[in-house]
Amino acid sequence: MSSLLHHLDQGQGRPLVILHGLFGTLDNWQTLGRRWATEAGLRVISVDLRNHGRSFQSPDHSYELMAQDVLALFDHLSLGDDVSLMGHSMGGKVAMRFALSHPERLARLLVFDISPRYSDMEHQTDIIAGLRAVPLATLESRQQADEAMAQHIPQPTVRQFLLKNLYRRDDHSFDWRINVAVLAESMEAVGEEITAAQPFLKPTLFVRGGKSNYITAEDKLHDIPALFPNSQVETVVDAGHWLHAEKPEEVFQLVQAFVKQ
């Protein structure tokens, strides 16, 4: 299987590379990606990270490796140094890791609702339990999968998001596109703090949901400026962690303005 990340390349203009969050796929950003390509005149490259979507599965899952995967994709697409790299949540940490390791490959960085500090992944325990509760071997419908997950995950919106990863194989049996076993083992690595000897000096935009606690006042004062001194933090009012789904118009405008400045 190819070790090149599965991606969707659309539009022409200045490149914007988009990295999804944990248990996500490039489809999560499809509606906005299409708009940035058509209305904002950008070349939008949406990516499935390793162990997610249609990209390769691997027993190893770390920010160092995910940043290397993205670098290989940059090389494959012959991207220059005028790239805007954007990531949400886990994808935001991949983007930070990449920017700090390969600053010469980027023009600017955009990070959605995550800070560089260590993230406690305790809240993912129920999600892992819900994913594991789905009886893939005997599963007959998505409805049945939803009911199995509901024992652990009460929020219908979270279940719907996760069920986007469920697909039918050629023999009509069901399987996950996400590598549930490896991701379950890798939660500590997904929560890892992003550190670096040298800060990333280029323009950086952090966008937080007003109802989300993933970026705190402490992060804004200390953690973010320490690594990203040329950064600004914008808040999307009345949005939670999934700000791009909840407030797509605000997110569209913020990104367009920042990338085109």
What is the pLDDT, as a whole number, of residue 123?
Answer: 87
Q: Is the pLDDT of residue 1 over 60?
A: no
Helix 30-38 / helix 248-260 crossing angle, nearest 10 deg: 40
pLDDT band at 17 (very low <50, low <70, confident <90, very high): very high
Which residue from 91, 118, 99 is spatially nearest to 207, judged by alpha carbons?
Answer: 91
| Residue range 178-187, pLDDT digits in tens | 999 999 999 9
Region 170-183 average pLDDT: 97
Q: Which domains does the chain have, with CATH numbers?
A: 7-118+193-260 (3.40.50.1820), 122-186 (no CATH)
Annotated catalytic residue: which of 55, 89, 115, 231?
A: 89
What strands lie across the sheet with 43-47, from one edge to the other?
Answer: 7-10, 43-47, 15-19, 84-88, 108-112, 204-209, 231-236
What is the pLDDT, as a whole number, of residue 55?
Answer: 98
Does residue 19 sit in helix, strand or coil? Answer: strand
> Catalytic: 89?
yes
DSSP string, 82-131: --EEEEETHHHHHHHHHHHH-GGG-SEEEEES--SS----GGGHHHHHHH
Annotated catalytic residue: which of 7, 52, 88, 241?
A: 241
What is the pLDDT, as a whole number, of residue 2?
Answer: 74
Residues near 58 by beta carbon (within 8 Å), at least 6 away in sequence: 50, 51, 65, 179, 182
What token pair was written down for 166?
A: 């469920």
